[in-house]
Amino acid sequence: MERFNLRICLLALGLFLSSLVSVETAQSALACTAPPENPIIKTIWNKSGGPLFTAVGNPAGDMPNKISYTYSYKKTSDKDFGEWSEWIDTDTTSFEDQIEFQSSLKQGYDWVAFSANAINECGNRFLTVSRRLVSYQKLSIAKSQIAEDLPLAAGKIPIYFFSPDGYEIPQTLTSKNPGVCEFDLKAKTLELIAPGKCEVTISQNNEELQTPHPDVTRTYNILKPRALISSATKDRRDDFKGSQIHVVYVALSGVPSRGLDSRGDISNWLDLANIWMKKKLGKEFAFDTYNGSYDVSFMKSSVSAKDIAAKDLLNPKSKIKGITILDRLRNEFVKQAGSAVSKKYLLFVVDAAMSKSYCGLGQQPGRIAMATPRGDCWDPTKGYLAQIAKLNSPSATIAHELIHNTGVGHPCGQQSDLMIGSGCKLSSSPIEITLDAQRKLYVGTSKAGANILKAKFWKK
């Protein structure tokens, strides 16, 4: 969101306005009981041109007998607004009397400020608003910018995620399920309260705003938190037979862990990866469970902060004492948990930033993958919202690296594809993630290295 400073302009404006009106005689004071309330300003975007401003007297107070207005534009290259126009006065005889100012979409300018001053014999009050210099098309809210599936842990969502391009305008936001989610307009957030369907309506037509866009309703699925069990050092009894993926939470020597297992993040990432995969492919990863909860083991690795500093351990060519980081972690866990775990797919969630370029690594093909949800690979404040991408980074990394285990590489044909990676030209801006959308690479075909429909790690 763009920011600018109106303080200097408004201070000068306020000093000027205070000198416009005075109560000259006791006789004139009898015509009113108090200065008018702030005028009501409405911003209207029609199907052509920039914002149109209207102002009327506020019936909550005494009626003004005059409304004046002034305006100022801000150049894109400047931090502050330019000079204000001369005041334009209009006499009023009722609260319905309206003044209008149509702004222009001027090349090289990005904001316009409008100030209306309500005046009577007792004094004056003014209100100033600023708006982006854009056409109405730029205010579209038809497409959600965040994921439709959210864990309860996402907590409070800033309302600018429900605004066009993050630009806050005075929209009307309402929740149809206040027991599940509710807007706190004072805090400017949508608060997630309980699991269930969160249905919200966004309107751009109210007392302060009018655009040609119809009201939009969005529905979010707030997930019920999965029951957590304390992490063990060994694999526990399986809930089901067959191929499955055992998850290991790894803390490195000299790198404090954040308890991603006990606070539910790992469980959320696995859930969200499967929900997304079910939508895209109709399949889910067979993550190892015990009594219905994810069976996540904990391991303190001998890999250290010094090892991380020495080299990029997520580079497939990097080795520690002659072996890759994946083999090192596998060997340590087999030693800790027993050789039986080597028959399962192993997914290591390492609580450390191990690379400046990558968030994970997976054997291609093989049975070992890892994700590193730290640093640039995970934003603990807004990461679950999965802006634009619609799939949070750790869940995307988990799915990406596990699919590498099937033999799929980095096909470079579609920048939005889940499997795009090193060696490909990446999108310079956020983009919604897809999964072989045209079914020509690795779904139903093995052109990109393998047909993932034949993988053994899908839930039966």
Tell me the domain boundaries of the chain: 7-136, 140-223, 245-454
Provide the β-strand partners of residue 187: none
CATH tag, 140-223: 2.60.40.1080
Residue 67 to residue 55: CA distance in whole angstroms? 8
Fold category of 7-136 in CATH: Immunoglobulin-like (2.60.40)
Residue 39 to residue 37: CA distance in whole angstroms? 6
In this structure, the strands spanning 52-56 and 156-158 are: unpaired
What digits encode the pLDDT tens for the residues 383-437?
A: 999 888 899 999 999 999 999 999 999 999 899 999 999 888 888 888 999 999 9
Q: Given the structure tokens 């809210």, which residue do they identify?
A: 141
Nearest to 326 by CA among 276, 289, 360: 360
Nearest to 105 by CA among 129, 73, 83: 73
Residue 113 to residue 4: CA distance in whole angstroms? 11
Residue 5 pLDDT exceeds 80: no
Nearest to 372 by CA among 230, 252, 277: 252
pLDDT at residue number 144: 81
Q: Do domains 7-136 and 140-223 have the same CATH topology?
A: yes
Residue 190 C-alpha from the chain's centroid: 12
- The predicted model scores a pTM of 0.85
pLDDT at residue number 209: 97
Residue 14 pLDDT exceeds 60: no
Residue 236 to residue 297: CA distance in whole angstroms? 9
pLDDT at residue number 423: 86
Residue 40 to residue 34: CA distance in whole angstroms? 17
Give yes or no for a contact between 79 and 66, defined as CB atoms under 8 angstroms apart. Answer: no
Which CATH class for the 245-454 domain? alpha beta
